[in-house]
Chains A and B, each alone.
Chain A
Amino acid sequence: MEPVRQVEGRAYPFGMKNVDTDIIIPAHWLKTISRDGLGRGAFEALRKDPANVFDRDDVKGAPIIVAGDNFGCGSSREHAAWALLDMGVKAVIAPSFSDIFSGNAFKNGILTVVLPQEAIDRLMEVAETDPITIDLESQTVTTPFQDRFTFEIDSFRKHCLLEGLDEVGLTLARGDAISAYEARQAKDMPWFAKGTALAA
């Protein structure tokens, strides 16, 4: 994964609450065996409205989305993160995110920045005309108008994003600890260890 330090640029003033992953990418787009090309299906239903924010000339291609509460709720489809990435989005700012979506976003290097509704309201105004800067190291969101909001982020996730670390590689490096657990489980809870090997 590429390291992520800063996301800067125009933002889509989206603002919608409870954006579910069916809105981000409808199910018929999930029939792919690749991670690429899903941007074409992103927000498909909303984009049928010619006045939709994602096709507005001045913000088209923006790297940031400003959204409402509970962004990414619903399905676990990582295609939602891939679709955003494919349309050039590298960060979403919202008052809250669904657990599964924020995990998926993180694993694809997309920042999910949690800020209170007042900050979102202000950023919605700024996004209409001006760029926004998210700095991961200092955990801040700033605007050309001296607005400065700080956000919290899990320290492990921050470390992985800044260093561009591969989680699978990190865990495989702890292979001995996993082996030790497996040996314990085989002794103490053998019924879990057999799995499909138990088939009649």
Chain B
Amino acid sequence: MASRPRTLYEKIWDAHEVERREDGTSILFIDRHLVHEVTSPQAFEALRLSGRKVRRPELTLAVPDHNLPTTARIDAAGKRIPIADVESAQQLAALERNAPEFGVRYIGPTDINQGIVHVVGPETGFSLPGATIVCGDSHTSCHGGVGALAFGIGTSEVEHVLATQTLLLKQSKTMEIRVEGELLPGVTAKDLILHIIGVIGTAGGTGHVIEYRGKVFEDMSIESRLTVCNMSIEGGARAGLVAPDEKTFAYLKGREYAPRGEDWERAVAWWSSLRTDEGATFDKSVVINAADVQPTVTWGTSPEDTVAIGGVVPAPESFADPSKQKAAQASLDYMGLTPGQKMTDIEVQNIFIGSCTNSRIEDLRAAAKVLKGRKKADNVKWAIVVPGSGLVKHQAEEEGLDKIFIEAGLEWREPGCSACLGMNPDKVPAGERCASTSNRNFVGRQGPGARTHLVSPAMAAAAAVTGRLTDVRELVD
């Protein structure tokens, strides 16, 4: 095609354009579609009503995650325990009915492969570099960590993909986030992405697809890249991605749905060409100095409300924009914080380690490293660790991480979305705080009146130990 230098995003887009209409709208082919129980019932119902079928059932994978309780799923007799909440049970039942009816592969609640869609996709090799991946969930941006173009869609689009295996879209603008230098010791991918969102704001990436560039991302593990890309949507970008490399290929090789034999060789050859060309230009470019990034936490009710752990709660007047001043005041009222208060003086009563952002094995290892041989503080009333999938859970148990958590006084749970959004019974009580490794600190996100501080897994573990937001570097080297 065109010989002009192209970005990674443009290369993936070009390889999937079925046709472009005169008005600039394209039909884009979708390689992988993940479906969960919350945003799919109305889409399957629409297909049923219009007598349409799923065009390519083998390109869709259905996994329940949002509603599932994270308590035991099988009783002593080996029987599946039904979900007590009537509506949650009904939503699960709808997916269990729809998947086989439309010929879609389904991973049920007691299957070891069950987990959060965004954990399951990469770890089963369903998510591949250079693929177009969609799901009725905004954190689909996550899969950009393996070099895919992945983005969240609404239920009408879920229906569109099921029926046509395509979407009608206009090409997005491109945005480069280049991080220069190296991260300081004790600073993680989560701290970096929180810092980035603090810099660009929650609308900073609107209309754009972000490519994360620089040595920091090249040096990162795939799981850390997934964490970074996961929160692209919190910066307003529907998708974010990191160029696939040898690490990506090594991560995927041999996984259940990853290509094999000659297909694998051919795939790697093409994937290796998926990098932004020398001389390609981005519509927007942001440069971050890695050395500026400290362990980072949020103080307010928007993911852009970030501050270094050594910092203080900001005063609303410190913001130039009058509407931001107003929003900051409302956030402080909701969060029960006062300007000037030291972040490390904020006590937390709840700890949540989990979510599609931070529930992979590396995340659990990072938390366990801090918790090993320690106990949670007495003021921490509720602390749960929710692995991202059955496979992660199994791996963690092999490594004895579950014992470390339990001995420290944390609960070891079954996989799912859990307290990230509290659609299942895992909620933070009104007025209480939670140091949470999830992705959104919105008003009421973890339960009505709940106060969320977004942190990394190591920082959540540190908060569990001291009972307040804490610089993890004080506890471990």
Report yes or no: B423 in contact with A30, Cβ–Cβ below 8 A.
yes
Answer yes or no: A104 CB below 8 A from chain B CBs. Answer: yes
A100 contacts across to B, CB distance below 8 A = 138, 152-154, 238
- Ordered by A's residue number, 8 sampled pairs between the chains whose C-beta atoms are within 8 Å are A18-B203, A22-B421, A33-B91, A34-B41, A98-B206, A103-B154, A192-B131, A196-B126
Which segment, of A54-62, A72-80, A84-92, faces chain B? A72-80
A181 contacts across to B, CB distance below 8 A = 18, 29
Q: Is the interface of A mostly helix, strand, loop or mixed?
A: helix
Which segment, of A2-10, A135-143, A165-173, faces chain B? A165-173
Report yes or no: A78 in contact with B155, Cβ–Cβ below 8 A.
yes
Q: How many residues of B contact A (CB 8 A)?
A: 85
B430-444 contact mask (Cβ, 8 Å, vs A): 1 or 0: 000000000010111
The residue on B at minimum CB distance from A28 is B423
Interface residues of B in 31-83 (CB under 8 A from A): 31-32, 38-39, 41-42, 45, 50, 52, 55-56, 58-61, 66-67
Report yes or no: A107 in contact with B156, Cβ–Cβ below 8 A.
yes
B422 contacts across to A, CB distance below 8 A = 27-28
Answer yes or no: B259 CB below 8 A from chain A CBs. Answer: yes
Partner of B164 from A155, A172, A191 at Cβ < 8 Å? A172
Min CB distance, A14 to chain B, in Å? 13
Known A167-B160, A196-B126; contact A26-B444, beta-carbon cutoff 8 A: yes
Report yes or no: B202 in contact with A70, Cβ–Cβ below 8 A.
yes
A→B interface (CB under 8 Å): 17-18, 20, 22-23, 26-28, 30-35, 45, 68-70, 73-78, 81, 96, 98-100, 103-104, 107-108, 154-156, 159, 167-168, 170-172, 174-175, 177-178, 180-182, 185, 189-192, 194-200
Inter-chain CA distance A199–B260, complex, in Å, is 11
B245 contacts across to A, CB distance below 8 A = none
The residue on A at minimum CB distance from B85 is A31
Answer yes or no: B363 CB below 8 A from chain A CBs. Answer: no
Report yes or no: A196 in contact with B61, Cβ–Cβ below 8 A.
yes
Report yes or no: A177 in contact with B156, Cβ–Cβ below 8 A.
no
The residue on A at minimum CB distance from B88 is A31
Report yes or no: B27 in contact with A31, Cβ–Cβ below 8 A.
no
B236 contacts across to A, CB distance below 8 A = 70, 73, 98-99
The residue on B at minimum CB distance from A105 is B154
Which segment, of B176-184, B264-272, B349-357, B402-410, faces chain A? B264-272
Report yes or no: A73 in contact with B94, Cβ–Cβ below 8 A.
no
Report yes or no: A190 in contact with B202, Cβ–Cβ below 8 A.
no
The residue on A at minimum CB distance from B113 is A199
Answer yes or no: B165 CB below 8 A from chain A CBs. Answer: yes
B21 contacts across to A, CB distance below 8 A = 156
A23 contacts across to B, CB distance below 8 A = 442-444
Inter-chain CA distance A34–B41, complex, in Å, is 8
B67 contacts across to A, CB distance below 8 A = 31
Inter-chain CA distance A190–B88, complex, in Å, is 38
Report yes or no: B206 in contact with A76, Cβ–Cβ below 8 A.
no
Report yes or no: A189 in contact with B270, Cβ–Cβ below 8 A.
yes
Report yes or no: B31 in contact with A192, Cβ–Cβ below 8 A.
yes
Inter-chain CA distance A20–B159, complex, in Å, is 24
Interface residues of B in 355-404 (CB under 8 A from A): none
Min CB distance, B92 to chain A, in Å? 10
A31 contacts across to B, CB distance below 8 A = 38, 67, 85, 87-88, 90-91, 423
